[in-house]
Chain A
Amino acid sequence: MIDLIRGVGIGALDRLGSLGNATILWLTALSGLPRRGDLALLARQIYTIGVLSLVIIVLSAFSIGAVIALQFYVQLSRFGAEEAVGLGLAMVLLRELGPVVTALLFAGRAGSAITAEIGLMKSTEQLSSMEMMGVDPLHRIVAPRLWAGLLCMPLLTAIFNVVAIYGGMVVAVHWLGSDPGGFWSGMQDTVEVWEDLGKGMIKSVIFAVVVTWIAVYQGYATEPTAEGIGLSTTRTVVMSSVMVLALDFLLTLGMYGDFN
Chain B
Amino acid sequence: MAEDTFIEIRDLHFSRGERKIFDGLSMTIPRGQITGIMGPSGTGKTTLLRIIGGQVRPDAGEVIVAGHDVCRMSREELFEFRKNIGMLFQSSALFTDLSVYENVAFPLRVHTELPEDSIRDLVLLKLNAVGLRGARDLFPAELSGGMARRVALARAIALDPALLMYDEPFTGQDPISMGVLVKLIKSLNQALETTNIVVSHDIHETSSIADKLYIISDGKVIGAGAPEALRADGSPWVQQFMHGSPDGPVPFHYPADELLYDVLAEVGP
Contact = CB atoms under 8 A, between A and B. Distances in A.
Contacts of A37: 109-110
Given A133-B82, A134-B82, A128 B110 contact: no
B96 interface: yes
A96 interface: no
B89 A134 contact: no
B91 A125 contact: yes
Contacts of A132: 53, 55, 82, 85, 87, 89
Contact of B93 (A125, A134, A135, A136): A125
B139 interface: no
Interface string A31-54: 000000100000000000000000
A77 interface: no
B96 A126 contact: yes
Nearest to A140: B110
A126 B106 CA distance: 12
Contact of B89 (A125, A136, A140): A125
Interface residues of A, number: 14
Given A132-B53, A133-B107, A134-B111, A126 B95 contact: yes
A251 B238 CA distance: 67
Contacts of A124: 91, 93, 96
Contact of A133 (B80, B90, B96, B110): B110
Nearest to A133: B107
A140 B90 CA distance: 23
B87 A135 contact: no
A224 B110 CA distance: 26
Interface in B61-93: 79-83, 85, 87, 89-91, 93
- The contact size tier of chain B is 20 to 34
A134 B83 contact: yes
Contact of B79 (A126, A128, A134): A134
A134 B82 CA distance: 5
A124 B79 CA distance: 21
Contacts of B106: 133, 135
Interface string B41-66: 00000000010010100000000000
A21 to B, nearest CB: 15
A110 to B, nearest CB: 17
A14 interface: no
Nearest to B85: A132
A195 interface: no
A179 interface: no
A131 interface: yes
A223 to B, nearest CB: 15
Interface of A: 37, 124-126, 128-136, 140
Given A126-B95, A130-B95, A133-B110, 5 more contacts: A124-B96, A132-B55, A132-B89, A133-B107, A134-B110
Interface of B: 50, 53, 55, 79-83, 85, 87, 89-91, 93-96, 106-107, 109-111, 152, 155
6 contacts: A125-B89, A132-B82, A133-B110, A134-B83, A134-B111, A140-B110
Q: Which 8 A-B pairs have the closest CB atoms?
A: A129-B93, A134-B82, A125-B93, A134-B83, A132-B87, A125-B89, A134-B79, A125-B91
